[in-house]
Structure 1
């Protein structure tokens, strides 16, 4: 099956829209309010972490574990 130039342009436009949506979702997530205590283990989140990442909802250890699980199972953030 032959695809015309319009089909490729439409695919490029769709890919760009998906990238933009992903960027907006990430920005929105980062702009959110985090937690004082980790949602996973309940320990207080270090002040330096909350300053560096105000949207943090997990302590460093639990965030590392979550990132590791996401890499293993192919999930995005």
Structure 2
């Protein structure tokens, strides 16, 4: 339910745009180029199926999981806070 000057689908359009931005940001962080046959961190062999599924992969699953756990989310909502959307 949009109010004021916003159109009827404005809230859903904003949600869709936020999801699209998130997908683009995630895709931009994917590796590209030639991949490795062994992990650059622990030297374990990277399975052929993983190399085919993720072109340019440079780390094994275990090391990638560790990276994902350690990564801090640093995204921000450039469209404003939830409170500003409800006013």
Normalised-by-shorter TM-score class: 0.5 to 0.7
- Aligned residue pairs, count: 70
Scaled by the length of structure 1, what TM-score is found? Answer: 0.54
Report the Cα offset of residue 4 of structure 1: 1.3
Q: Which has the higher helix share?
A: 1
Please provide the CA RMSD for this pair.
3.3
Task: Give yes or no for contact 2:35–2:58 (8 Å, CA) kept in 1.
Answer: yes
From the CA coordinates, give the structure whose radius of gyration is larger.
2
Q: Any stretches of 5+ residues in structure 1 without a counterpart?
A: none
- Rate the CA distance shift 1:57–1:31 in 2: closer, same or farther, 3 A: closer
Q: Any stretches of 5+ residues in structure 2 without a counterpart?
A: 75-87
Aligned to 1:57: 58
- Runs (4 or more) in structure 1 with deviation over 4 Å come to 27-31
Scaled by the length of structure 2, what TM-score is found? Answer: 0.50
